[in-house]
Amino acid sequence: MTFMRNIQSLAAFLLVTLAALMPSTASAQSSTVHWSTAGVGNGKKMPNPATTIASDGTSVALNYTTTTNGGSFVPVYDNSFLTYSSGRFGSGTGGVLIAFDNDSWDPADKVVTTITLGRAVTGLSFSINDINRGVGSAGSWGTTFRDVVMVEYDTGSGSFQSITNSSSLWSAGSAITQKGSTFIGEQTSDQTSTSGTLDLHFGNVSVKRIRITFNSDTSGWFDVAQPDSQQIAISALAFDAPGADLSLRKTRVSDIPTNGGSVTWRLTVSNSSSSSLSASGVTVKDYLPAGFTFSSASGTGTFDPQSNVWRVGNPIAPGQDVSLDITGTINATPGAPITNYAEIITSNAPDSDSTPGNGVTTEDDYASITFTVAGTRTAGIAPALTCPAGSVLFDWDSKSWAAGSTNNFFQLDVIGPIGFQISNPGNWLSDRAYGGQAPILQTSSNGGKTGERLLFEWVDLPNRNARVVTQITLPTVMRGAQFMIADVDYWNGQFADYVEVEGLYQGATVIPTLTNGATNYVISNSAYGDGLSSDGAADGNVIVTFDQSIDQII
């Protein structure tokens, strides 16, 4: 029996959203700030403000203010709320101590310390140590007192926000409990133990200022008498050194070539506008593919066709793009995929998220592009479907389909109902030129058969991996089937149609034979559009032939 033709799947004006690949974080060069460089001796008070210089030359200023609500709120060491200590705190040595002594509990008494960097930095990391619960000496009950720390950061906007808004920015030791926007020392912890350590790690978040507020918690039942002195310690700082955040793009700026035709690729190197340095000594290696013969290059800098290295030449300033076009000829059969990839291999400036020349394809200094060689092929000849017991025809010309509907059943001759179910993860489109709201039966896009009605599917998919699935359920096992899918083509700069067809027989997969048109090519049971076919032309037709038993078509 023959299940004949007349099913059309059209993906016209498909808008493709490319998924962005997040680059992996490469090892960046770090700058450090050791508080000993502020010129303060061990146990001595920090100037207010205190200034020092990071290892990369970035200036760092530290200042503090105090607030008291009456009563005694006094410094502990060297008549200062902030002092330098070379001792060990948590897992490190050398820190700025923030210390005070209260004669009675008052949450309004606090020390606010601000660290201001000479530039907004990424990769900032440091720790606040010795956040814990202490035991006081006054009162018959043995009073407790808890360190309370709030940490805020400013990206350079002038406004502070709490690190507790993002759990990825911090991790706390076992002696510390987060409560709202604060961290409270709920357990005793030795100053050399990491159980009282709050680690800050800002990653790609840009930071210009840090504000640390230190006071006491009064929520404990026994926290009513005079506490002993309290302290926390700020460790050394580390952050990404100044650098140039380079990225590489590769695009095809010519039409898809046929065998023997010409293709032009464009390489573009960008230095992010947020970079602190210009990038000099930048070179790019283009790994030109097999089947490509170089003929010329034009643009910024020079290209060596022997090594395939592009030397950019002049420094690339923050916010600047530079480009090079590479042109050559293609020697490959129609339908062959051609992939060209390239990578930035040298730069004199550190890059916070990539390492030149390391071959890591997920970093943003690596780029690739693939196309399929077009050809002046002619439409294939579909195999004849032999039906010794006779054939039956399902023809849309005698059927009706409610515009926009996706689930319909029709009587197939005297055999029984044939069902069509369509699922679409995107949006169905509508155009009066094609009869209105898809899916719909129409005659404008007819595969070269004037007046022929075909089921028209016109969609806007959310991304390049989304697929519209049309499932055809047959009334019984059919010994073979043949039909046409029209307008499988390619529109330059917008989309390439991709159609995959398979059958089922009692749950087992059955692979059909696909016969290409002039604007598509076939690999196994898939058809790929690679040329433009007009609505009323046969160039985009694909003929599907099953010569085995099936009960479903997908």
For residue 213, the model assigns a pLDDT of 98
pLDDT band at 376 (very low <50, low <70, confident <90, very high): low
Half-sphere exposure of 517 (CA within 13 A, CB side): 29
pLDDT band at 219 (very low <50, low <70, confident <90, very high): low
pLDDT band at 8 (very low <50, low <70, confident <90, very high): very low
pTM: 0.51
Residue 134 CB contacts under 8 Å (≥ 6 apart), including other chains: 144, 145, 146, 147, 185, 188, 227, 228, 230
Q: Which helix (H) or strand (E) holds 101?
A: strand 92-102
Half-sphere exposure of 301 (CA within 13 A, CB side): 24
The count of residues in the chain is 554
Average pLDDT over residues 250-272: 92
CB contact at 8 A, 143 and 103: no
For residue 143, the model assigns a pLDDT of 56
CB contact at 8 A, 62 and 114: yes
Nearest 5°: the CA angle 448, 450, 454 is: 80
Average pLDDT over residues 26-55: 88
Gap between the Cα atoms of 355 and 366, Å rounded: 10
Q: Specify the DSSP class assigned to residue 158.
A: S
The neighbour count for residue 501, using CB atoms within 10 Å, is 23
pLDDT band at 524 (very low <50, low <70, confident <90, very high): confident
- pLDDT tens sequence across 114-125: 999 999 998 999
What strands lie across the sheet with 292-299, from one edge to the other? 246-252, 262-271, 321-330, 292-299
SS3 398: helix
Average pLDDT over residues 544-552: 96
Gap between the Cα atoms of 127 and 170, Å rounded: 9
What strands lie across the sheet with 513-515, from one edge to the other? 481-485, 542-546, 513-515
For residue 36, the model assigns a pLDDT of 93
CB contact at 8 A, 240 and 350: yes
CB contact at 8 A, 322 and 301: yes
Output phi, psi for 306, to 5 deg: -80, -45
Nearest 5°: the CA angle 515, 516, 522 is: 90
Is pLDDT at 9 greater than 90 in this prediction? Answer: no
Question: 263 has which bridge partners?
Answer: 328
The neighbour count for residue 24, using CB atoms within 10 Å, is 12
Question: Which residue's entry shows tokens 């005698």?
Answer: 398
Gap between the Cα atoms of 532 and 535, Å rounded: 10
Which of these, 19, 4, 5, 14, lies nearest to 498 by C-alpha position? 14
Mean pLDDT, the chain, whole residue set: 88
Is pLDDT at 532 greater than 90 in this prediction? Answer: no
Is pLDDT at 443 greater than 80 in this prediction? Answer: yes
The neighbour count for residue 353, using CB atoms within 10 Å, is 22
- Secondary structure percentages of the chain, helix, strand, coil, to 5: 5, 45, 50
For residue 333, the model assigns a pLDDT of 64
Q: Specify the DSSP class assigned to residue 256.
A: P
Average pLDDT over residues 131-144: 63
Measure Cα distances from 40 to 47, 136, 194 in Å.
Answer: 8, 30, 25
pLDDT band at 229 (very low <50, low <70, confident <90, very high): confident
